[in-house]
Amino acid sequence: MPRRIGMLGGTFDPVHIGHLRGALEVAELLGLDELRLTPSARPPHRELPSVSARDRLAMVRCAVAGVAPLTVDDRELARDKPSYTLDTLESMRTGMDPDDQLFLLLGWDAFCSLPAWHRWEQLLEHCHIVVLQRPDADSEPPEALRNLLAARAVSDPLALPGPGGNITFVWQTPLSVSATQIRQLLADGRSVRFLVPDAVLAYIEAHGLYRAPKTDGAP
Ligand code: ATP
């Protein structure tokens, strides 16, 4: 039987319930054998995250411990260059059988930014793309993606044929939490309890992450 492997990339600065709930729902819906959360060491399209890749990876590990089929993939941290998704998919493919199915999960915002990605036209040579839809998303994709969608979109996520090459959309429980909001709450000295798993909160507190530096002259 071909395996069904998913990948969800992100900065995870920090990982939160929006990522985790979305990942779990898609893994169950698609019947994935494994869904690899893959922290980006050096995201090409945004500023370097405020917290080290090692801490972001550790938080993802805390979040998915014991939550099959979610796993953590640290291969982007081992690479000494920008974390291009195409390179990650090529690397994952080398460890898989040719018939295995690979699913790249993208939020709607990430999907719409695809035309700015490194060699983005080649992504579908390695995987299917599963777009996580939210009710608040724009209904129209950018012009550059229209032809691709016309040629490659499959309406039933369970009917994606073969190892890769198609695009599908899945609805997920809307949780409009973002890492930006969490960083801001923490910088303001507010609680993020229930927005991140307890184990992630414990890690943040133990390592003093995201807190604004003291300005009152206290040591
Ligand atoms: P930031 O606020 O720092 O931009 P973020 O919360 O959007 O971060 P990322 O690590 O950039 O998190 O996101 C990784 C992936 O998870 C992206 O594909 C993104 O669309 C998706 N994602 C982020 N937040 C949610 C959410 N609340 N629900 C579902 N998917 C999400």
Q: Which are the contacts of 152, defined by CB distance < 8 A and separation ≥ 6?
A: 124, 165, 166, 167
Q: What is the mean pLDDT of residues 117-146?
A: 86
- Is any atom of ligand 1 closer than 6 Å to the C-beta of 160? no
Mean of pLDDT over the chain: 91
For residues 8 and 18, what is the distance between their CA atoms, to the nearest angstrom? 12
pTM higher than the cut 0.85: yes
| Per-residue pLDDT at 89 exceeds 80 | yes
On the question of pLDDT at 49 being above 80, the answer is no
Residue 65, pLDDT above cutoff 90: yes
Would the CB of 43 count as within 6 Å of ligand 1?
no
Which residues is 169 bridged to in the sheet?
131
The confidence score (pLDDT) of residue 67 equals: 97
Least confident piece of the model among 6-15, 26-35, 205-214: 205-214
For residue 79, the model assigns a pLDDT of: 78
For ligand 1, atom 9: residue with the closest CA: 10
CB crowding 169-187: b at 16 or more within 10 Å, else e = bbebeeeebebeebbeebe
Query: Of ligand 1's atoms, which has the minimum distance to the CA of residue 16?
Result: 6
Q: Is the pLDDT of residue 136 over 70?
A: no
Does residue 214 register a pLDDT over 90? no
Which residue CA neighbors atom 23 of ligand 1 most closely?
Answer: 19
